Structure 1
Amino acid sequence: MFASCCGKAKESFKAYQMSINYQASNNEKEVLSQLRTHFYDHKSDAVMKSCLLRLNSIKTETVFDLICRVLHVCEISDDQWMIYVWDGTDTPCAPCHKDLNAEGEDPLPLNLDIVPLSRKILHIFPCVGTVFRIVVRKYFEEIPQLRDGCWVKLCNLTCELHYGIWRGLLHGSSKVHILSDEDENVKSNMRDYQDRLASGARVQPLTCSPRHSYMTGTDFEKEPCVTLIKSLACHKVTHKFKSIVRVVAAYPWKGNHLRSPVHGHYRVRLTLEDSTVRIHAYIHGDDGVKFFGGHPEVEKLSTKMRRLLGIKENIGAEEAATSVRDPPWVCCCLKSYYLDKSDKWGSRRYRIFGTYILD
Structure 2
Amino acid sequence: MEMASTNGRDQSREYVYLPLVDALKSVGVRVNLFAVVSEIGAVRRSRGSDYVLTLKIMDQSYLAPGISVNFFSERPSKLPSVMLNGDIIGLQRVVMKIHNGDHYCVYNKRFSSFALFQGKMTEDCSPYQISPKFQQRDHDDEHLSQLRTLLIDHPPGAVLKEGELQLRRIKTHTLFDLVCKVLHICNTSNGEWILFVWDGTDAPPLMLQNDLNTEMTAPTPLRPEELLLSREVLCSFPPVGTVLRVFADKFFKEFPHLLNGGCWVRLCNINCEVQSGIWKGMLKVCSKIRLLSDDESTVLDCLKKYNARVKSQAERLPLTCFPWPSHILSVDGYCGIPATLMDSLTCKQVKHLVVCVVRVVSSCPWRAEDLRSPVGGHFRIRVILEDPTARIYAYIIKEQGEKFFGACSTQDALTRGMNALLGITGGSGGDPPPREPPWVLCCLRSYCLDESDPWGSRRYRIVNTRLSLYN
**Is TM more than 0.5 here?**
yes
Q: Map Cα deviations across residues 84-130 of structure 1 (whole Å, 9 max, x no partner).
A: 11000000101111110101111100112222001100101000000
Secondary structure in structure 1 of the residue aligned to 2:381: strand
Of 191, 198, 207, the residue aligned with 1:95 is 207
Q: Look up the match of 1:5.
A: none
Aligned match of 1:114: 226
1:141 deviates by 6.6
Structure having the larger proportion of residues in strand: 2
Residue 34 of structure 1: aligned partner: none
Distance across 2 between alignment mates of 1:274 and 1:227: 7
Indicate the residue corresponding to 1:353 in structure 2: 463
- The answer to whether structure 1 residue 332 and structure 2 residue 445 are counterparts is no
Mapped partners of 2:385, 2:357: distance in 1: 9
CA distance in structure 1 between the aligned counterparts of 2:437 and 2:391, rounded to whole angstroms: 14
Number of residue equivalences:
308
Report the Cα offset of residue 198 of structure 1: 2.6
Residues of 2 paired with 1:342 and 1:191: CA distance? 42
- SS of equivalent to 2:378: coil
Partner deviation per Cα, 1:43-90 (whole Å, 9 max, x = no partner): xxxxxx971000000000000000001100112246421111100000
Matches within 5 A, 1:5-24: none
4+ runs of 1 displaced by more than 4 Å?
Answer: 318-321
Partner in structure 2 of residue 70 of structure 1: 182
> How big is each residue's C-alpha offset from its partner over 1:265-314, in whole Å with a ceiling of 9 and x where there is no partner?
111111100001111100011101111115611010010000000011xx
Could you tell me whether the CA contact under 8 Å between 2:184 and 2:195 is conserved in 1? yes
What is the aligned counterpart of 1:258 among 354, 371, 385?
Answer: 371
Task: Select between 110-119 and 214-223 the one with higher mean Cα deviation.
Answer: 214-223
Give the superposition deviation at 1:201: 1.7
Supply the AA of the counterpart residue of 2:199: D
Structure-2 separation of matches of 1:212 and 1:320: 32
Q: 1:175 aligns with which of 288, 305, 310?
A: 288
CA contact (8 A) 1:120 1:233 kept: no
Q: What code does the residue aligned with 1:95 have? A: M
Tell me the distance in 2 between the aligned counterparts of 1:182 and 1:136: 27
Equivalent residue, structure 2, for 1:213: 326
Residue in 1 aligned with 2:398? 285
Equivalent-residue separation in structure 2 for 1:174 and 1:353 (angstroms)? 46
Asked whether the equivalents of residues 408 and 417 of structure 2 are also in contact (C-alpha less than 8 Å), the reply is no
Which structure 2 residues correspond to residues 37-186 of structure 1 after superposition, within 5 A? 51-77=163-189, 79-140=191-252, 143-146=255-258, 147-186=260-299
Alpha-carbon separation, structure 2, partners of 1:308 and 1:159: 27
SS in 2 for 1:59: coil
Aligned-partner SS, 2:313: coil
TM-superposed CA distance for 1:264, in Å, is 1.7
CA offsets, 1:208-266, max 9 Å, x none? 23321121111131142111112112222211101000001001101111112232211
* TM superposition score normalised by structure 2: 0.63
Corresponding residue of 2:153:
none
Q: Please give the alpha-carbon distance, in whole angstroms, between the structure 2 residues aligned to 1:98 and 1:229.
A: 24
| Identity level (%) | 47
Contact 1:205 / 1:274 at 8 angstroms: preserved in 2? Answer: yes
* Maintained 8 Å contact 2:325/2:439: yes
Partners of 1:348 and 1:141 lie apart in 2 by 33
* Greater relative contact order (CA < 8 Å, ≥ 6 in sequence): 1
Question: When you count helix as a share of all residues, which structure comes out higher?
Answer: 1
Do the aligned residues in 2 keep the contact of 1:66 with 1:154 (CA within 8 Å)? yes
- Aligned-pair CA distance for 1:319: 5.0
Q: Does the C-alpha gap of structure 1 residues 50 and 76 become closer, same or farther in structure 2, counting only changes over 3 Å?
A: farther
User: How far apart are the structure 1 equivalents of 2:451 and 2:198?
Assistant: 35
Give 5+ residue unaligned stretches, structure 1: 1-48
Provide the residue aligned with 1:343 in structure 2: 453
Indicate conservation of the 8 Å contact 2:407/2:467, yes or no. no
Question: Residue 342 of structure 1 aligns to a residue in which SS?
Answer: coil
Preserved contact between residue 225 and residue 242 of structure 1 (Cα < 8 Å)? yes
Q: Secondary structure at 1:350's aligned position in 2?
A: strand
Query: What is the aligned counterpart of 1:311 among 424, 443, 454?
Result: 424
Structure 1 residue 357: Cα displacement: 1.0
> Could you say which residue in structure 2 is the equivalent of 1:199?
312
Q: Please tell me the residue identity of whatever aligns with 1:189.
A: C
